[in-house]
Amino acid sequence: MKYTKEQIEAIAESLRKLPPVEKKKEELSKFEAVKALSKEIAAMQKKGYSIEQIATALRESGLDIATPTLKSYLQRAKQGTAKRKVQPKTDTAQPAENVDNADTESQS
């Protein structure tokens, strides 16, 4: 099927009039929410709030989470950041060891 320039222009005009599509709001799991809030939670702890008080504040704000769950998620979030910090150091150390071995072999 062939189209006239007028038909194409009419189609183009109708496409230009379409409203923008609303982006779907990203949904986070409870763990992801706690991870995203970890800086604020740490700041509350520095102010003297206990994990129980923080869990209560989170529930009052709309994040339904039990105190033991909050504690577990915070530990997991810390472990995840600690692992990321350790890995680059390990990766950079390995090539240096290989270079040392190569130097030792060339001296033999």
Structural domain range at position 34: 27-84
Two structure tokens written together for 57: 């504040």
pLDDT at 87: 55
pLDDT at 2: 93
Per the domain annotation, does 66 fall within a domain? yes
> Looking at the domain assignment, is residue 67 inside a domain?
yes
Residue 101: per-residue pLDDT: 47
pLDDT digits (tens, 9 = 90+) for 76-106: 988 876 665 555 555 554 554 444 444 444 4
**Could you report the per-residue pLDDT of 41-64, keeping only the tens digit for each?**
999 999 999 999 999 999 999 999
Asked whether residue 22 is domain-assigned, the answer is: no
Number of domains composing the chain = 1
Instruction: Assess if residue 7 is contained within a domain.
Output: no
Instruction: Report yes or no on 65 lying in a domain.
Output: yes
The pLDDT value given to residue 26: 87
pLDDT of residue 85: 58
Residue 53 covered by a domain = yes
